[in-house]
Amino acid sequence: MIGIVDYGMGNIKSVANGIIRVGGEVKIVSQPNELQNCSALVLPGVGAFAQAMENLNKADLVNPIIERVEEDTPILGICLGMQLFAEYSEEFGVTKGLGLVEGGVVKIPEAPGIRLPHMGWNEVKQVNSLDSSLFKDVPDEGCFYFVHSYMVETAQENLTGVATHGSRVTASMQVKNIFATQFHPEKSQSNGATILRNFVNISEAKGENKYG
């Protein structure tokens, strides 16, 4: 059972429907004790980083999420959910994040002719030799749907995908059992469906090499 964390800022229904369409079982979870019954978690999100962290803290979800990740539970962060994994965000001042991935959230560099937010379809170049199981059967430089003005800056070895919007934009990352996409797989047609199907398979996998 994949638990989709509802903290009041996610496009919960579309993410749930996307996972169900590819054969996954989902449960919307909003209480700390509910996380224990899930084989994997999804942290979606739309909106401002600071408000998201405030909501997570008010719901007493911060420590339970961190504890499940430390127990090797697979987790997928989508859009703002991905950014929340970082140590901090510079959006509207500095706000502490979950600290699950080294790095911070910064504004996409402005450039002539480059509009923010970065909105619409863009190609994602897969990077590193990680061969992440999240990208199994996804074509390199496949298109995905983005809506964001901020991005995660993290170590090169954490990256699994980048896009270009004036400059290089972090599109996805993985640190062991922590998976994240800045793009919206639930809105990205066949490529996004493959990402979600792969995460369902990850949630069901056993053994040392289950994360790719």
The catalytic residues are: 79, 184, 186
How far apart CA 24 and CA 170 sit, in angstroms, is 27
Residue whose entry in the numeric block shows the structure tokens 């809506």: 147
Contact (CB, 8 A) for 132 and 179: yes
Please give the single-letter amino acid code of residue 5: V
Distance CA(135)–CA(137), nearest Å, equals 6
Of 179, 162, 77, 154, the residue nearest 124 (C-alpha) = 162
d(CA 87, CA 67): 16
Tokens of 209: 């090499």
